[in-house]
Amino acid sequence: MSLVPFDDRDGWIWLDGQFVPWRDAKVHVLTHGLHYASSVFEGERMYNGEIFELRAHTERLFKSAEILDFRIPFTVEEIDEACKQTCEKNGLTDCYIRPIAWRGSEMIGVSAQQTKIHVAIAVWDWPSYFDPEEKKRGIRLAHALYRRPDPATAPTDAKAAGLYMICTISKHAAERDGYADALMRDYRGYIAEATGANVFLVRDGVIHTPTPDAFLNGITRQTVMKLAGERGYQIIERHIPFEELGTFSELFITGTAAEVTPVAEVGEFRFTPGTISLTLMDDYARLVRGQVPAMA
């Protein structure tokens, strides 16, 4: 399948309050966000014409900007509406949505307090983050090259562009070795997350998930925890030593892009997509499409 570059597509992008043709949505090469990672973003999905957890995503975008010390020049309500309008303008009812905010090109340097803050929203068709057949079998994860940083050294509560540099490096290395993704530890060596998704593990019918104190407490993660609770599954949120990885029978990851995806391997460790992983995968798929999970 040929690659369609993201800068050469048909459609419309919402940029600083107005729609511009897709190919004309450009920034200058000396944009501060490019040189100093002063950029925050969200990943959202629309299903059947409704953006799942739109307000939660928009509020997180604003919180991330606040953490990076800049203010988005629109209201939460305006960004919510712009996300909806961008989907409508592009004629999409099932798609991925990418709002992003960044410091402009007025100043280049560590201090950039006089830069203009820009906001853009792009949407595109994106059926599945992982190959559907591979997802059913369970994807394969490598061990990541890098660890999630100490919150004292990086703004880990922000969905900030710079924090994904180590994710790209780790995912590229994993893909070169034939894996779909990589499992990251945190700065203490505890199990943390995949490169763009949270992690859940199952042992003896109990769900365990890492405490999100060095990585994002994902919106999908919170949704899946609620679904698991409604099913009556016990959930333990704790620091999980890496040495325990081989003691779990199931492992699955969650995220807006990944949705709920079972895992079959993490390096030398093996897992079997079982009842809990597959049930929550189905429950989530039903929920985001406005269907009631089958509670039989």
| Residues labelled as active-site residues | 159
Residue 217 CA to residue 211 CA, distance in Å, equals 8
Residue 133 CA to residue 135 CA, distance in Å, equals 5
Q: What is the DSSP string of 219-262?
A: HHHHHHHHHHHHTT--EEEE--BGGGGGG-SEEEEEETTTEEEE
The answer to whether residues 140 and 178 touch, using CB atoms and an 8 Å cutoff, is yes
SS3 track for 53-122: CHHHHHHHHHHHHHHCCCCCCCCHHHHHHHHHHHHHHCCCCCEEEEEEEEECCCCCCCCCCCCCEEEEEE
Residue 32 amino acid letter: H
Count of CA atoms in the C-beta half-sphere (13 A) of 81: 7
The answer to whether residues 93 and 87 touch, using CB atoms and an 8 Å cutoff, is yes
